[in-house]
Structure 1
Amino acid sequence: MLVFPNAKINIGLNIVEKRADGYHNIESCFYPVGWSDALEITLADEFSFRSDGIVIPGNSSDNLCTKAYQMIAADYALPAVKMHLLKSIPIGAGLGGGSADAAFVIKALNEQFDLKISFEKQLDYARRLGSDCAFFISNKPAYCFQKGDEFEDIDLNLKGKCIVLVNPGLHISTVEAYSGIVPKRSEHDLHNVLKEPIENWKFKVKNDFEATLFPIYPLLGEIKEALYQQGALYAAMSGSGSTLFGIFELEKDLQKHFADYKVWQGPLD
């Protein structure tokens, strides 16, 4: 079976409060985008995982894809499989690529071996692997809260608009990103603001990490401003960085403009 785990962006990211378990409660809108990895799962004599493309740090036994397989295999009589991941989505880039890979393993194993795992149980498995993972089970626009693993439907349709994602190759750890954050509630209700024309978002839809990370990494702010100069209706950093995105009314080719960085551009669904 061949699947294509896709990335997501955060449209707005409010860090609301720190939890007793050390995590943070957030408010955000997760929106799927077309930048994808490729994952092939085939029957084998023994389990194996390998990856090509962008180098994934650490051992294969620690990869979320491996952990997803082991978690399902502990509850179901799975045969051995060989997993081959072609990694294209940048790592530590605020795009949820690793989480998507793991969630797609859950969905692919369920389909390939007709396990009949309920949607809710798939969500439960995904939540065990990471806060972002559960989003990719439904993989549709959602208002996210708590640790980013609880969801409500949101009436947001950007179909027909185009997105440009720019990744300058900076790796920002979660610890570093949160170190300067003072949790607080936003003065604007994200649900309501996202119902307004997209041109209004620039003034009301914020990513809290930008205020602390842009002074440390001025390049991030420069890329965001360049996206606006190129005509973006809305631009922001995704997650805790370091990818910036711009949403445009019409198709935009900015590969040459951001020639020194990784760029993905395409339509939104």
Structure 2
Amino acid sequence: MITFPNAKINIGLNVVEKRPDGYHNLETIFYPVKLSDALEVIEAEETAFSSSGIEIDSTAENNLVYKAYSLLAGDFHLSPVKMHLHKVIPFGAGLGGGSADAAFALKMLNDYFALGLTTTQLKDYAARIGADCPFFIENKPTFAHGIGDQFKPVNLDLSAYEIVIVKPPISVSTPQAYRNIIPTKPDFNLLEIDRLPIEDWKTVVKNDFEKSVFPQFPEIGKLKENLYEAGAVYASMSGSGSAVFGIFRHLPTNLDRFLPKGIFIYR
């Protein structure tokens, strides 16, 4: 059995307050995109995990796919399987690739072993893996708040547009992204984004992490400028970086001309 865990982008990301537990409350929109990994599970004599593509820690115990299997195995009698992940979604990019892999593993194992888990039950398991992991269970445009673990559906359809994701050969860690962040209440309510023409997003839909990340990594900020120069109607860093996405009405045939060498481009 094979499945294709897809990435997400963050449309707007507001850091609204610091919590007593040290975490931050956020507001953002998770939007699923086509960029995806490939995850396969097959019958085996003993449970094992392997990977290809982008190099990751392939130690089973350290991988979220294996953690998904272990969570279910703790509550159900699962026969051994071999799981292989072909990694395409870059990490340290704000695209949620690891969370997607885990969530899709839960869904696939639910089908593979005919466990009969409901969507709500799958989300409960996913929440034990990561704050944004439950999003990928339903995998629909979602307003996320709290620490990114509370969800509301949002009416947003970008299927008429082309979304391009670009990434420099660097990653941004969470501590780096939070450096110099000052939580503030946003002027624009992201729940109302469906009422706002996409041409107006540029002035009010912000990613607060850009204020911290761009000064540390000017090349990431430059990529946002490059995408606007190429004709994007909206461009932004995704999550805490380092990937930047552009939304185009019509994708230019010479997009590469607007970008520096060594940049990874995903369409």
Same-fold call, TM > 0.5? yes
Partner AA of 1:22 in structure 2: G
Aligned to 1:166: 166
Question: Does 1:117 pair with 2:117?
Answer: yes
- Pick one of 258, 261, 264 that aligns with 1:262: 264
Aligned to 1:4: 4
Q: Aligned partners of 2:64, 2:123: CA distance in 1, in Å? A: 15
Displacement after TM superposition at 1:134 (Å): 0.8
- Unaligned stretches of 5+ residues in structure 1: none
Partner AA of 1:262 in structure 2: F
Partner AA of 2:263 in structure 1: Y
Partner AA of 2:225 in structure 1: E
Alignment of 1:29-178 (within 5 A): 29-57=29-57, 59-178=59-178
Percent identical across equivalent pairs? 51
Q: Aligned partners of 1:149, 1:244: CA distance in 2, in Å? A: 23
Q: Aligned partners of 2:205, 2:115: CA distance in 1, in Å? A: 41
8 Å contact from structure 1 (residues 106, 122) kept in 2: yes
Q: Aligned partners of 1:193, 1:117: CA distance in 2, in Å? A: 33
Q: Aligned partners of 2:58, 2:86: CA distance in 1, in Å? A: 16
Q: Aligned partners of 1:22, 1:221: CA distance in 2, in Å? A: 28
Displacement after TM superposition at 1:57 (Å): 3.5
Alignment of 1:223-234 (within 5 A): 223-234=223-234
Report Cα offsets for 1:135-168 as digits up to 9, x if no partner. 1000010111111121111111111210110010
Matched residue of 2:124: which SS? helix
Q: Measured at CA, do residues 42 and 58 of structure 1 come closer, stay the same or move farther in structure 2, by a change above 3 Å?
A: closer
Q: Aligned partners of 2:58, 2:84: CA distance in 1, in Å? A: 16
Displacement after TM superposition at 1:55 (Å): 0.7
Q: Aligned partners of 1:194, 1:13: CA distance in 2, in Å? A: 16
Displacement after TM superposition at 1:180 (Å): 1.6
Partner AA of 1:107 in structure 2: K
8 Å contact from structure 1 (residues 7, 36) kept in 2: yes
Matched residue of 2:77: which SS? coil
8 Å contact from structure 1 (residues 194, 201) kept in 2: no
Aligned residues between the structures: 265
Q: Aligned partners of 2:79, 2:24: CA distance in 1, in Å? A: 38
8 Å contact from structure 2 (residues 169, 262) kept in 1: no
Aligned to 2:250: 250
Report Cα offsets for 1:77-136 as digits up to 9, x if no partner. 111110000000001110000000000000000111110111111111111101111110
Q: Aligned partners of 2:232, 2:54: CA distance in 1, in Å? A: 28
Q: Aligned partners of 2:58, 2:20: CA distance in 1, in Å? A: 29
Q: Which runs of 4+ in 1 moved over 6 A?
A: none
Displacement after TM superposition at 1:255 (Å): 4.1
Partner AA of 1:247 in structure 2: I
Report Cα offsets for 1:190-222 as digits up to 9, x if no partner. 112442100000000000000111111111111
Matched residue of 1:214: which SS? helix
Report Cα offsets for 1:164-183 as digits up to 9, x if no partner. 10010211111111122111
Give the superposed CA RMSD: 1.3
Partner AA of 2:5 in structure 1: P
Matched residue of 1:89: which SS? coil
* TM-score w.r.t. length of structure 1: 0.95
* TM-score w.r.t. length of structure 2: 0.96
